[in-house]
A and B are shown apart, each in its own frame.
Chain A
Amino acid sequence: MLGFLIFLLVGLGAVGAPLGLAWQPGQGNAPVAATAAEGPVPVRVLMPAPFVDATASLAARFNASHPGIRIELSRGPLDTEALSDLAVSSLVLGEAPYDVLMMDVSWTPKYAAAGFLEPLEPWLGDHALDPMLPGARAGNAFGGHLWRMPFSGDTALLYWRTDLMDAPPADTEALVRTARSLQKQGKVRWGYVWQGRQYEGLSCVMLEVLHGFGGRWWNPATGRTELDTAAARQATGWLSMLVRSGVTPPAVANFAENEALQLFAAGEAAFLRNWPYAWKLIEQEGGPVAGHVGVSPLPAAPGQAGGATLGTWGFSLPAHSPHPAEAVEVIRWLSGPEAQKELVLSQGYAPTWQSLYDDPDLQRRHPLLAVQRQSLELGALVRPLTPLYAQYSDVLQRQVNGVLSGSRSVELAMAEAQSQSTRVAEAIDPR
């Protein structure tokens, strides 16, 4: 019976570990709070580790000019979903170990519905987003409240080789034509690389391809997904065709951003779909394609407007923060035009402030700015604004990745994606 007892303990530990996270206190990487009655109020900001390095000098400048507040940057995981896991496990405690959260655009409705956040409009007013470029405003408000102040306005972009073509393709058909002809001439091994792994990045790709073929993922009016439609089947069929015809390597079914970037930066692909950060990396690392990379908005099917997925970060105020006024000051500073200008220059992110797009100094020093603006104005696509987005995204990723890895037909996958999305929405509804 001793064996059985051991089994019970190990088993419960092993099975329960992932879920048990939700009842554990936040990870130990939060700096210890200064509890002295005198001295500055500490405002702890949780962000992915690379952002900590990028914003360290901004925090230092704020601390120097605000003797009453001290920004403490907490290093979180780089992976977006891992950061969410850390934030969620601290938030379910009901007490905020962090005073400001750096949030992905796709989390806003979920976090707001869970009661994790404090609305920002009582602090920042009803017009806080007005000075932003219209495309960069989406994904911050939900259910009549402002939950997040954007800190970047990134959209996905098309990277192409200026040494292999004179201009970027006008639409998806031109992209495939150019890619095939370059492959036939032996100039590149692959035509177009993007993100097809079963993860959030594939949902981002799907959102823009769906719109690029005149479809949409989700109808805000009915609150239902629209995946079993002709347009959605065409969109998925296009991605599947890219893989089957050899324009895209079959390995794309396991590609995240970096795998796709590697292939393009090594000079083995004519086109790449990626976020703005890739441009800085390609140019700085000086590989075989450095100096030969053009960037433009993503193409859509002929006659379609299309658009590009918004993949932005922003700042939110957790509920029950012990010092919200100070936290809001920090949010105001870190999402403000001065901070954004510095980050655009050091990291290549797209800013959100209209004034920065009109800033001649920034235009000169950050050549990508015009394309970033163009992409935001052409059609910045925000992922479905519903608290059930994570479930919908999960369903779509599984089905489309199944198509890409060759184990499911397009028709079956889209029918399943639609019916499973509906089932999830019905099953979770408590009424």
Chain B
Amino acid sequence: MSLAPWLLMLPALLLLAAVYAGPLLRYAWLSGHASSVLTGLIPVPNDGANWQRLAGDARFWQDAFQTLRFAFLSVGLELLLGLAIALLLHRPMRGRGLLRAVTLLPWALPTTLMALGWRWILNDPYGPVNGLIQGLGGQPYGFLSTPATTWLATVVADVWKTTPFVALLLLAGLQSIPGDLEEAMQLEGASRWQILRRLTLPLLLPYLGLAVLFRLAQALGVFDLIQVLTGGGPGGSTESLAFYAYLQAMRFLDFGYGATVMLATFGLLLLLALAWLLTLRRLQGRQP
């Protein structure tokens, strides 16, 4: 392999190392220390006590489960809906440019505002959804005060906001597929479903892979949506790992344990990414 490409990439790699590897190393160092209000925030080595604490911390594992549950459901729904929207927007029709722009609007909205909006939409009893329910003669429902519906509300809000992003990525992928391939298949008498399964989806696979990587990383690090929409409640049932790390560091000033939770979350992320990349490779290998 030639050295030239690496040399050309060197400045960019150094910058990334400074921006990403630096904090990561600092977290790793901090996670080996007690650094909290009881040490006056001065890091004191504590022989892996943070990691022992993490292993026995039921709340960490509960949050890990809740974060994975959120990530899998929201990313799954976003892929399905995003694909459907991309296929629709790919077809030539009148006003397509306008439609594409409109579809992107939720993605352009800051998450904090979006979450405040959903908090109001689902307000019990004054929000519009409960207004509708009461208008139809029903009783107002506590969407954000019942654990079972609150975590689904976080998924709905996330899907609403980030489906356009997935749709956009997949739309870009669709546009890269030459139109004459589809025409050729049509001439051979292939049905729409066959075209989608045999032509579109396989060629779209790299884009699907990228969309999942982006979305999975963001969903596993979900913070702002949780902070504004639920505050982790009710009873901690929507707390995410990133929110827990934030509480430890910013609210409790326990920087040692906060860094430990952060690193563990990052490790989980890496494992999932590897699993997904291996899956992707196998899927691509099966292509004709």
A interface residues (Cβ-Cβ under 8 A, vs B): 3-4, 6-23, 81, 84-85, 88-89, 92, 110, 113-115, 197-199, 249-254, 259, 262, 387-388, 390-391, 394, 397-399, 401-408, 427-430
Contact = CB atoms under 8 A, between A and B. Distances in A.
B128 interface: no
Chain A facing B: main interface SS: helix
Nearest to B215: A10
Nearest to A88: B250
B269 to A, nearest CB: 5
Interface in B122-146: 123-126, 140, 142, 144-146
Nearest to A14: B221
Given A3-B210, A19-B258, A428-B254, A10 B218 contact: yes
A387 B249 CA distance: 14
Given A19-B246, A406-B146, A401 B233 contact: yes
30 contacts: A3-B277, A4-B277, A6-B213, A7-B269, A11-B220, A11-B266, A11-B273, A14-B221, A15-B220, A15-B266, A16-B23, A16-B27, A18-B246, A19-B249, A19-B259, A23-B23, A110-B37, A115-B40, A197-B231, A197-B233, A251-B125, A253-B145, A388-B37, A405-B145, A405-B146, A405-B147, A407-B147, A408-B235, A428-B36, A428-B252
Contacts of A198: 230-236
**10 nearest interchain CB pairs?**
A402-B235, A14-B221, A198-B233, A253-B145, A405-B234, A18-B246, A11-B217, A251-B124, A15-B221, A387-B37
Contacts of B44: 430
Contacts of A88: 250, 253
Contacts of A199: 231, 233
Interface in B219-237: 220-223, 230-237
A105 B141 CA distance: 35
B121 interface: no
Given A12-B266, A198-B231, A388-B37, A3 B251 contact: no
B114 interface: no
Given A4-B273, A401-B235, A17 B221 contact: yes
Q: Which of B20, B24, B41, B252 has the largest count of A CB atoms less than 10 A from its CB?
A: B252
B233 A253 contact: yes
A265 to B, nearest CB: 12
B235 to A, nearest CB: 3
Contacts of B245: 15, 18-19
B95 to A, nearest CB: 33
Contacts of A250: 124, 142, 145
A29 to B, nearest CB: 16
Nearest to A94: B41
B152 to A, nearest CB: 14
B262 interface: yes
Contacts of A402: 234-237
A198 B41 CA distance: 27
B26 A85 contact: no
A400 B116 CA distance: 24
Contact of B218 (A14, A22, A388): A14
B255 interface: yes
Given A88-B250, A390-B252, A428-B257, A407 B235 contact: yes
- Most B CB contacts (10 A, CB to CB) among A10, A19, A399 go to A19
A254 B257 contact: no
A197 B236 CA distance: 11
B234 A10 contact: no
B46 A430 contact: yes
Interface in B59-74: none
Contacts of B24: 12
Contacts of A407: 147, 234-235, 237
Contacts, number: 200
A274 B25 CA distance: 46
B63 to A, nearest CB: 11
Contacts of A85: 250-251
Nearest to B143: A254
Interface residues of B, number: 70
B253 A18 contact: no
B214 A6 contact: yes
Given A250-B142, A262-B126, A17 B223 contact: yes
B247 A394 contact: yes
B118 interface: no
A110 B251 CA distance: 10
A10 B231 contact: no
A89 B233 contact: no
Given A6-B210, A14-B242, A23 B26 contact: yes
B211 to A, nearest CB: 11
A174 to B, nearest CB: 27
A1 to B, nearest CB: 8
Contacts of A252: 145
A14 B233 contact: no
A254 B46 CA distance: 39
B168 interface: no
A401 B174 CA distance: 47
B242 A18 contact: yes
Contact of A21 (B144, B221, B250): B250
Contacts of A7: 213-214, 216-217, 269, 273
A10 B147 CA distance: 29
A22 B37 contact: no
A425 to B, nearest CB: 9
Interface in B34-52: 34, 36-41, 44, 46
A28 to B, nearest CB: 17
Given A19-B249, A251-B140, A251-B142, A405 B235 contact: yes
Given A8-B20, A11-B217, 13 more contacts: A7-B217, A11-B220, A14-B217, A15-B265, A18-B246, A18-B249, A19-B250, A114-B253, A198-B234, A401-B235, A407-B147, A407-B235, A428-B254
B16 interface: yes
B200 to A, nearest CB: 20
Interface centre among B123, B217, B233, by most chain A C-beta atoms within 10 angstroms, is B233
Given A9-B20, A387-B38, A14 B220 contact: yes
A114 B252 CA distance: 10
B145 A11 contact: no
